[in-house]
Amino acid sequence: MSLFDDDQPKKKTAHEIGSDLSQLSVDELTARIALLTEEIARLEAERARKSASRSAAESLFR
């Protein structure tokens, strides 16, 4: 960790759960939906990977 980390601009979150959506355009909403859809796919892939790993481990102890 650097002494100058506080000087770096904070990366703006692309979407915050529960945020006010009323000020967003249709294009901005579409972009957020695409972003969240990609994130859901990433989460599901990781869950599947971990489930497969767990199943393989459990099969060794049967």
Q: How far apart are alpha carbons 26 and 32 in whole angstroms?
A: 10
- Phi and psi at residue 38, in whole multiples of 5°? -65, -40
7-18 core/surface letters (b: 16 or more CB in 10 A; e: else): eeeeeeeeeeee
- Residue 36 corresponds to which tokens in the numbers above? 């969240």
Return the pLDDT at 2.
Answer: 59
Q: How far apart are alpha carbons 29 and 15 in whole angstroms?
A: 10
Summarised one tens digit per residue, pLDDT across range 11-62 is 666 789 999 999 999 999 999 999 999 999 999 999 999 998 888 777 877 7
Tell me the average pLDDT across 2-15: 66
What is the value of pTM for the model shown? 0.64
Assess whether pLDDT exceeds 70 at residue 1.
no
Name every residue whose Cβ is closer than 8 Å to that of residue 38 and which is 6 or more positions away in sequence: none
